[in-house]
């Protein structure tokens, strides 16, 4: 373990308290630590630097700032898709907010016959995607590009841990950094790209998909592992917190 890693591990509780505690001492330290953290990350992390520029450039179109991902991150959801599309020779999938591409390549393992489009708002993430082994059935495009705007007819859309903001999980009673209006607008856009009879996968979001104005078009897919307990805040359509944990469906069938 490096000296920096050891120091980071020893100060993890202190850093968490500075970011999240409402005690006066921590609230005083918060802007000082935030400035130090920003400078350190901006000058020493190319990833953080590129993500910061993307956030500033694309503003309201940006959703979840962190781009954490990993291979086969949602095996239960991918298995649902595999079973639902079993026997289909042609399937078109969208990985929305694909980060650095691991989700798209994981989907290929479950559905090798599928044509998969990954889209992200971060040029840095897309550059990382394109550095992965080339696959004729996987492509990546910017989420604000003309190519993505004109795309559609997807059989399934995966929007996993995208429609959220870390600030909404820091003890707030009202969602401000990412609001229901933003959430609903993105759901409407994705709805326009999904076929009738297609599947909408939405998980780890700050709001309920069935609270949107398009809820009448969808119903939860009746399969095992669809409804799950989430130990994270949930907000209503007025951006007010409803609960610190909740059960929610993750896969919806479009009528």
> Which tokens is 85 given?
């599309």
Query: Pairing mode, if any, of strands 241-243 and 234-235?
Result: antiparallel
> Which tokens is 26 given?
């921590």
Q: What mean pLDDT do residues 182-195 have?
A: 97
Range with the largest mean pLDDT of 10-19, 31-40, 102-111, 160-169: 102-111
pLDDT given at position 72? 95
Q: What mean pLDDT do residues 241-250 have?
A: 95
CB 153 within 8 A of CB 195: yes
| 4, pLDDT greater than 60 | no
Paired strand residues for 94: 117, 157
| 19, pLDDT greater than 70 | no
Phi, psi dihedral angles at 66 (to 5 degrees) = -65, 150
Superfamily classification of domain 75-254:
Vaccinia Virus protein VP39 (3.40.50.150)
Q: What mean pLDDT do residues 120-147 have?
A: 93
Three-state SS at 182: helix
> Which tokens is 145 given?
């590009």
pLDDT given at position 61? 73
In the chain, domain spans: 3-44, 75-254
Cα separation, 55 vs 60, in Å, equals 9
Please name which of 92, 238, 234, 239 lies closest in space to residue 249, comparing C-alpha atoms: 234
pLDDT given at position 23? 81
pLDDT higher at 30 or 120: 120
Interior/surface letters 223-235, b for 16+ CB within 10 angstroms, e for the rest: eeebeeebebbbb
Distances (CA, A) of 233 to 41, 174, 224: 27, 10, 24
Q: What mean pLDDT do residues 169-177 have?
A: 89
pLDDT given at position 191? 98
Across the chain, which distance is largest between two alpha carbons, in Å? 61
Out of 23-27, 51-55, 105-109, 215-219, least confident range: 51-55
pLDDT class of 99 with cuts at 50, 70, 90: very high
pLDDT given at position 161? 95
Q: What mean pLDDT do residues 152-174 have?
A: 93
pLDDT given at position 94? 98
């Amino acid at each position: 373990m490096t000296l920096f890693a050891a120091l980071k591990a020893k100060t993890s509780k202190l850093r968490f308290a500075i970011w999240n505690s409402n005690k006066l001492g921590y609230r005083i330290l918060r802007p000082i630590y935030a400035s130090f953290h920003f400078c350190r990350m901006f000058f020493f992390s190319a990833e953080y630097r590129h993500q910061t520029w993307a956030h500033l450039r694309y503003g309201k179109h940006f959703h979840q700032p962190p781009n954490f991902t990993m291979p086969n991150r949602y095996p239960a959801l991918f298995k649902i898709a595999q079973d639902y599309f079993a026997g289909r020779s042609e399937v078109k999938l969208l990985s929305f907010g694909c980060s650095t591409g691991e989700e798209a390549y994981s989907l290929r393992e479950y559905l090798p016959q599928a044509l998969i489009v990954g889209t992200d708002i971060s040029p840095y993430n897309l550059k990382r995607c394109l550095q992965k082994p080339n696959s004729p059935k996987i492509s990546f495009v910017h989420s604000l590009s003309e190519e993505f705007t004109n795309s559609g007819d997807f059989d399934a859309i995966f929007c996993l841990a995208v429609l959220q903001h870390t600030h909404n999980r820091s003890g707030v009673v009202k969602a401000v950094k990412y609001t229901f209006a933003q959430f609903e607008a993105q759901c409407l856009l994705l709805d326009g790209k999904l076929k009738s009879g297609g599947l909408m996968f939405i998980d780890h979001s700050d709001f309920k998909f069935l609270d949107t104005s398009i809820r009448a078009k969808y119903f939860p897919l009746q399969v095992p592992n669809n409804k799950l307990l989430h130990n994270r805040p949930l907000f209503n359509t007025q951006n007010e917190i409803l609960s610190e944990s909740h059960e929610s469906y993750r896969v919806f069938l479009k009528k």
